[in-house]
Structure 1
Amino acid sequence: MRLEQTFLRPLTLLLALVTSSIPIGTAQADEAAAPRPTPVTRPAMKQLLEGMKTRRERIPLPEPSAAEIRAAETDPTVLSYENRLRSLYLPGTELRGYLGFGGTAPKRPNAPAPKVVIEPDPAVTLDYGFKTRLFWIASRVNNCQYCLGHQESKLLAVGMTDDDLAHLDTDWSVFPEREQAAFAFARRLTLDPGSLKDADIDRCLEHFTGEEVLEMALSVAGNNAINRWKEGIGVPQAGNGGNSGWAQTGVTGAHSYLTPTAEKFKSLASAVAILTPDDAAQELVATEASTELLSLAEMARGIDAARARTPRLPLIDEAAARTLLGNLTTEGPLPAWMRLLANYPLAGPRMVKAFELTAAAAELTPIEQAHIHWTVARRNRAWYGLALAESEMRALGATAADLADLAGDQSGLSAAERAVLAVADALAASPVVCTDAQFQEALDATSPATLVSVVHEVAMQSLFDRFTEAAALTAP
């Protein structure tokens, strides 16, 4: 569909509201009920990235407390929308829980020292710029326009040009073969984790070690998590483009994503975004879920097949993993996902701790958490995650009839529970498939604290599903 037919740019929308007979409230309601569109071309994408600066936040916040105001005198970021959400509703958790394998940006000359310095993991070895290109690809597939804007800035800051970014979207042949293999892996892992084949991993293993492929999987998994966090809670883009926004700041000191696009790229359709052949002639198209929902029978077959598979990425010996993880381990056989993370002596325990903090969150009950895990894993076709979620629910007393209800019309759940799971499924399907209206319905039925916890839970499960499926862990 053409942009003018479905999704109007902000100025066009304003003119339409002023000159037409459509009530403003009706137009706003229609806009809130539709997912943000997917840009087909680079100029259309830049328009949407710039428009993110005026995005509406989804979660209402109370007035800042006296303590927050005092803290902001030395650190103004304390009062940012995102930081306040996490401090109020997710105390103890950090964004680094999603991005523990993304690497550290090179220090900009004359830039102030970072407030928090995280000790780098010696086993995390892949180049920051390379992993940022993978982040860009994940964000393009997910249509996460907030994260796309940030990755554009980061890649320009490490030396890529606008033409390079256009090639990243339309023609990978200009990149080294090893990066092309990694790009294809990142796209498939983002789009449909359960569809990854041994051949996808084998192609990467021609250029990378098993530990490096796992590092890529963990990095891209974290990218998918933060895509869902940013889009779920509705974070507006910073007016200055974020920490690397200086790379798009002109001589006037004003930041803008609306930079010139070379003529040869202006009308080229993305080869990364989820598009059909008919979409190539458009500017923007409707965003839809990347996968179809599985039936109970399909899930059972997938789990059975996963119980017979052999992990294709390296697991650390259980005794060595227990020594590394210490009190983060559990009784009984150590879960395979922990043995995967134990490949990384610093980043691995930090991620295990992030999952532990999520599980300990008090806002959601254990059965509510299990329902979200199952809902997200179902959408991701993540067999290992599905098997664990089913085990969680059965341990909490769920029956076969309860599982059938969860997979069906969910008549056994309350209206609030159904609204929450609709948000979880939409965020899992594609971060922007969850509309403002859908999110508001769940917010009205629950509370800001609940919805923030739900978005975080979805983000962490999206991370978990991707690295466990990349490794083809044997389902329990």
Structure 2
Amino acid sequence: LLMAYSNFQDRLLISLQTRFIPMCDAGPAHWIEFPASDLLPAAPPQLSPPSTSIPPPAKTSLFQPAPKNLAPDDPDWTAVSYDDLQIRLENQRQRQTRLPIPDWSDIAKHLPPGLFHGPSNIVWYRIVFGYAPELATPYEIFMRTAGAETAADYDRIFGQSLFWITTRAIGCPYCMGHCEMNWEVAGLTPDEIAQRSRVLSSNDWSSFPAGEQLAFAFARKLAKSPGSIAPADLEGLRLALGVRQALTVMLHASRHHYMTRISNGFQLTLERENVFYDFWNVKRPGEA
């Protein structure tokens, strides 16, 4: 888990410490300015870690087209088709996790009160809390706190799409499967989920808004070549999304590398049933 933390923290620092990257070959290095007044919420969020909860995702419109495709083509991106990605997901469902999966009764002994409303069937949670609760607990509090603070202006379907980009870039079928599950909980139909995945796995993202395209391109670059992140990448996010949203994208695109590195490192078995209805405390379709 320490290596996973490093992947997360290094990428976040790379995103923020742009003063080490010159604007051009001869130009001075500098910071991208993010005024503090633009970052602070109007009122302090009402949080009580570790029992903070994340508001359930809401369904939004699927596509809001931009005039053109803004992301540079990546020949490697289309080397694996959508159908091939689905085969990888099925293979992950059949794969056996490299570590014994702890029983929830053993995990619960080490959890702060209120962190979960009951046993979780998410394999990732059972591994991280079962083997390293001293690292997993603060990350979970951070993740929920960040979710609560950004929920008002961070669309969950877009957020899972950003996560999908990272899972595709580093080849993590376990977390890619979780993206599909979270889209379903948010209200997307199987056809809509397949459509979104097909478009994201292509080199044409023009059916997404300009800001989302730039965010996807940033996440892909941060995953594949983090050392090449430049001030122009961050300035593009700021101009397209605004200061708060740009920083939110940087934060989430970075933290995804903690989750995916654990999933890949231990080759977690992808759950066949959607385990996120219980996590979000959302009723399944057809439930009264």
Instruction: Give TM-score, length-normalised by structure 2.
Output: 0.66
**Distance apart, 1:233 and its partner CA:** 2.1
Say yes or no: does 1:346 pair with 2:134. Answer: yes
Shift of 1:403: 2.2
Equivalents in 1 of 2:257, 2:215: separation in Å?
A: 16
* Residue 207 of structure 2 corresponds to residue 412 of structure 1: yes
Q: Deviations over 1:271-317 (max 9, x none)?
A: xxxxxxxxxxxxxxxxxxxx943431221111111000111124321
Q: Which amino acid aligns with 2:200?
A: L
Choose which of 83, 102, 109 in structure 2 pairs with 1:297: 83
Moved over 6 A (4+): none
Q: How does 1:206-355 map to 2 (within 5 A)?
A: 218-236=1-19, 292-293=76-77, 294-325=80-111, 326-329=113-116, 331=118, 333-342=120-129, 343-355=131-143
Query: Does 2:173 match 1:358?
Result: no
What CA distance in whole angstroms lies between the structure 2 residues aligned with 1:449 and 1:405?
27
**Taking structure 1 as reference, are residues 332 and 346 closer, same or farther at Cα in structure 2, changes over 3 Å only?**
closer
Unaligned runs of 5+ in 2: 21-74, 272-288
How many aligned residue pairs are there?
Answer: 207
Contact 1:338 1:352 in 2 (8 A): no
Q: What code does the residue aligned with 2:86 have?
A: A
SS in 2 for 1:227: helix
| Aligned partner of 1:450 among 245, 248, 255 | 245
Which residue of structure 2 aligns with residue 392 of structure 1? 182
Which AA in structure 2 matches 1:431? Answer: P
Measured at CA, do residues 330 and 434 of structure 1 come closer, stay the same or move farther in structure 2, by a change above 3 Å?
Answer: farther
Change (3 A) 1:430 1:314: farther
The change in CA–CA distance for 1:223 and 1:406 in structure 2 (over 3 A counts) is: same
8 Å CA contact retained: 2:104, 2:119: no
Q: Indicate the structure (1 or 2) with the bigger Cα radius of gyration.
A: 1
Q: What pairs with 1:181-200 in structure 2 (closer than 5 Å)?
A: none
Q: CA RMSD in A?
A: 2.3
Q: CA deviation at 1:331?
A: 5.0
Structure possessing the higher relative contact order (Cα contacts under 8 Å, 6 or more residues apart)? 2
Distance across 2 between alignment mates of 1:302 and 1:331: 30
Structure 1 residues without counterparts, runs of 5 or longer: 1-217, 238-290
For residues 434 and 295 of structure 1, do their structure 2 counterparts lie closer, same or farther at Cα, with a shift above 3 Å needed?
farther
The secondary structure found in structure 2 opposite 1:313 is coil
Note the C-alpha offset of 1:469.
Answer: 1.1
- Tell me if structure 2 keeps the 8 A contact 1:226–1:459: yes
Structure 2 CA distance, aligned partners of 1:392 and 1:323? 28
Q: What percent identity do the matched residue pairs reach? A: 20
The DSSP-based 3-state class of the residue aligned with 2:110 is helix
SS in 2 for 1:441: helix
